[in-house]
Amino acid sequence: MPVIGVIGGSGLYAVDGLQDATWRAQDTPWGAPSDEMLHGTLDGTEMIFLPRHGRGHVHSPSTVPYRANVAAMKAAGVTHLVSVSATGSFREEMAPGDLVIVDQFIDRTFAREKSFFGTGCVAHVSVAHPVCPALSAACARAARTAGATVHEGGTYLAMEGPQFSTLAESRLYRDWGCDVIGMTNMPEAKLAREAELHYASVAMVTDYDSWHPDHGSVQITDIIATLQANVARATAMVANLPAEVTDAPCDEGCDRALDHAVMTAPEARDPAVVERLRAIAGRVL
């Protein structure tokens, strides 16, 4: 049976409806995750939730402990990891209130550790296709059942933040063909790939980025209202996931992403580094 993990972004700090729900601490070789994790079951499926910014929103996009978050999910037995995050939109048709099932990323972050591997044990993992198509399709079905307007496919521009983009940057990213912009899906997606998790990204559109000619007239109260409505849609989507997520074989090979990825010869690997990496790469080490 799959174990579904959900990492919730801005505004999503818990999941309602879990049976036998308990908050539990989880340590990892990369430190503690953003918060305790909420364990429970939903329609007979084990589900684990983690608020990316912590309850009360205490972590900025740059200080989120991304490696610890993904490692904690892996250690807890998660097989399918769904990311939910608030984003701006570069496309008129991807309107505030809509959900976008992301399938590509452009990483413009620069102040974050982006890999579990490094000196002592080097690995190169392909992220050409950074999300799991089957899990992404399951999220789309679950979101539509929840009544959301869903766009399947979209490129997510990950910026460092915490400031929003300038008008010039917004226009540039739009010209690049990006669809939504956010601050938290990188390096999360890359780390999920290294941890051999099925990963999907659901972007909740809260506003048009600064490229939009009407953006200046949008009030922060409007954005917060949209965010709250999006959280309701995302919560309903999460409630529908157990009926949609299966343990069918993955055509993208998410659960085998480390095959042939470790480059350091066994005799040259640092034993202490290898021991730490067993938490996410024990299958190949």
**Catalytic machinery residues:** 207, 209
Q: In angstroms, rounded to a whole number, what is the distance separating the alpha carbons of residues 254 and 245?
A: 15
Q: In angstroms, rounded to a whole number, what is the distance separating the alpha carbons of residues 197 and 50?
A: 15
| Alpha-helical runs (H) found in 1-132 | 66-75
> Closest Cα to residue 226, out of 204, 256, 200, 247?
204
Pairing of β 155-159 and β 180-182: parallel
In DSSP terms, 199 is beta-bridged to: 81
HSE-up of residue 199 (Cα within 13 Å, Cβ side): 30
For the chain, the straight-line distance linking the first and the last C-alpha, in angstroms and rounded, comes to: 25
Longest Cα separation, the chain: 62
Q: Which residue, chain included where needed, has tokens 């042939």?
A: 260
